[in-house]
Amino acid sequence: MKPVDPVYPYGPACAKGVIKSSPADFVVIEELGFEPSGEGEHLLLQVEKTGMTTADLIRRIATDYSMHPRNIGYCGLKDRNAVTTQWLSLHLPGREVNVIDPADDAYRVLRASRHRAKLRRGTHKANSFHLRIRGLGECNDNCLRQLDAIQSQGMANYYGRQRFGRGQDNLEQALAQLSATRVKPMRRSMLISSLRSHLFNSVLARRISQDCWQRPLAGDVFMLRGSRSIFSTALDAALQRRYAELDISSTASLYGSGKSLLSGEALQLERRVFDENDAITACLDRHGARLQMRALRVPVEDLDYEFDKVRRLLELRLRLPAGSYATVLLEHFMHAVETG
């Protein structure tokens, strides 16, 4: 079983380019969305890293601060072949420590402050990106129209290909391993996440294919822009206006236990997708995943782009909410080749 092929709302990608030819071509800055409290058992570090995964960074920080990696919290996983800035929380109760300046260039601590709580996955508000796409010789008018459409109408909020493993075989592995063997908690969580992501992506692709992505359906649950707050209400002129202005967007279920929040036409569409993937839903039922909701589209904040025809270089600056993927945005208008 392979992940669903995404369907994008503004037509097929019409360009091809190279991303991550060097770490400096893919710059990511994690935004917490709140200020550290200044006191508490946790030391929050804002860290810039290059050429290492978040897991590598956590192991290195654990060594440098003589602590166990499980006592280090983080908000999100960041790319290896990139220059990324992210926050970590170090649980150091009753322990005064000096911020360590590493002897090599593995990472840099930009800021440090005490805080009352451990950072958890998804705690942060957004990520800012500065991307350079090289060798883009086919950035024609259609490509630029697609970028303008993303700017004005938002992007389809697919889970990125990295959710499904290097060989895109996480779904097959999940169905085999979760059914037959005992799996370590971290591995189990990753496999369950892959299954739920596939179901969500399938619902999103179906809605785009059926031309009901940029309009609400009867029975939809809506998510407020810039927050995770959800609500349901009747479709009226005021809601239609808010929808067109990207103030709210429809959601779909991240499959799990609990009564569906959807109803009517939206629920029927989603149930058809789940019925077509009954092996996945049965596996998730056995493992007790909890129902959540995710927006089907997201506005792209502060999107700005510049194309240099002579250098065949496209530069993008943008901001996405936590949990959305810059690589997915790129797939709306181009086929990206990653060299790193």
Residues 293 and 203 in one domain: yes
Q: Could you give the residue numbers annotated as active site?
A: 79
Question: Sign of torsion, CA 183 186 292 323?
Answer: negative
The answer to the question of residue 115 being in a domain is: yes
The answer to the question of residue 322 being in a domain is: no
337: helix, coil or strand? strand
Which strand (E) or helix (H) includes residue 286?
Answer: helix 278-287
* Token pair 């959305």 in the structure block, residue: 324
Residues 251 and 166 in one domain: yes
CATH assignment at residue 176: 3.30.2340.10
* Each residue's pLDDT tens digit, 273-290: 999 999 999 999 988 888
Burial class (CB in 10 A: 0-12, 13-18, 19+), 239: middle
Residues 209 and 292 in one domain: yes
Residues 291 and 183 in one domain: yes
Residues 161 and 284 in one domain: yes
The answer to the question of residue 250 being in a domain is: yes
* Token pair 């792209």 in the structure block, residue: 300
The answer to the question of residue 224 being in a domain is: yes
Please state, rounded to an integer, the average pLDDT across all residues of the chain. Answer: 92
Q: What is the pLDDT of residue 340?
A: 61
Q: What are phi and psi of 77, to 5 degrees?
A: -85, 135
The answer to the question of residue 243 being in a domain is: yes
Q: What is the pLDDT of residue 283?
A: 92
Domain that holds residue 50: 34-123
Residues 216 and 292 in one domain: yes
The answer to the question of residue 11 being in a domain is: no
The answer to the question of residue 150 being in a domain is: no
Does 97 have pLDDT greater than 90?
Answer: no
The rounded distance, in Å, linking the Cα atoms of 65 and 129 is 29
Residues 114 and 194 in one domain: no
The answer to the question of residue 142 being in a domain is: no
CATH assignment at residue 103: 3.30.2350.20
Number of domains in the chain: 2
* Each residue's pLDDT tens digit, 306-317: 988 888 899 999
Question: Sign of torsion, CA 274 277 282 287?
Answer: negative
* Each residue's pLDDT tens digit, 143-187: 889 999 999 999 999 999 888 987 888 898 888 888 766 778 878
Residues 205 and 283 in one domain: yes
Q: Which range is least confidently modeled, 8-22, 91-105, 213-227?
A: 91-105
Which strand (E) or helix (H) includes residue 153?
Answer: helix 141-153
Six-digit token string for 326: 């810059």
Beta bridge partners of 335: 16
Six-digit token string for 80: 């290896």
The fraction of the chain above a pLDDT of 90, given in percent, is: 73
Residues 110 and 185 in one domain: no
